[in-house]
Amino acid sequence: MNDWQMKSPLDWETYVNKRVKVAAAEKNEYEGWALTVDPVSANVVLANFPENGRVSIVVVLGHAVQEVDVLQEADDEMKARLSCIFAPEESKAYSP
Amino acid sequence: SSPRFQALLGTGAAGGGHPKTSSPPQAARAALRLRYLRSLGAMRGLPVSFTLHEGGRVGAVVAAADAPPLAFQVDALRTPLGLQAAALLRCSDIIAYAFEM
């Protein structure tokens, strides 16, 4: 197990809702807003918002994570946007 | 000796008895895991691009994953050797996967 997989859920939680850069195995690098870290596999779920209006999700597997750097903290608007990406249909907020 | 068992053990030792489900580490685990499971659910039926070790890249439509997850069951796996109607991808072979929704 690598250092990332050995962290505790409270450690992983500190990365949620932050823009992070993940250095992975074989010199792969990924950047995005951290949505969650799976506490079982340590997989990191990143979200990006490309111009086409869709949501681009990248998941880096825990065993391949070498380093995670925090780049930026999300503002309230971004936090709300991130929280509804995987929300079930019935709990989605609708504008009046 | 799994991370899940160690986390459970840590909570139990701190509480001096049965682990409390509402303790901070357990609440954090539950919230993180819930979001991850929802991401797995959202991925079902979508075309997903996998980055594998040794520079391999394949695309497939994800049909199912097991619980940890240790493997993905995929359909229409596009490989350099051709198209596989159905296949299992081991997570230990994958560095990252990406999809749009």
**Do residue B20 and residue B63 come from a single domain?**
no
Beta carbon pairs, A and B, within 8 Å: 110
The total number of structural domains in chain B stands at 2
**Do residue B19 and residue B50 come from a single domain?**
no
Tell me whether B90 touches chain A (CB under 8 Å): no
**Do residue B33 and residue B55 come from a single domain?**
no
What CA–CA distances, in Å, run from A60 to A25, B22, B34, B51, B85? 10, 29, 17, 9, 25
At residue B24 the predicted structure's pLDDT band, cuts being 50, 70 and 90, is confident
- B32: nearest Cα among A71, A29, A70, A37: A37
- Mean pLDDT along residues A66-95: 85
Counting every residue written for chain B, the total comes to 101
What topology is assigned to A3-86 in CATH?
SH3 type barrels. (2.30.30)
Select from A1, A25, A45 the Cβ nearest to the Cβ of B36: A45
**Do residue B49 and residue B35 come from a single domain?**
no
**Do residue B48 and residue B93 come from a single domain?**
yes
Q: Which residues form the domain of B27?
A: 3-40
What CA–CA distances, in Å, run from A81 to A51, A74, A75, A87? 15, 10, 10, 10
Question: What is the predicted pLDDT for the residue at B5?
Answer: 72
Complex ipTM:
0.89
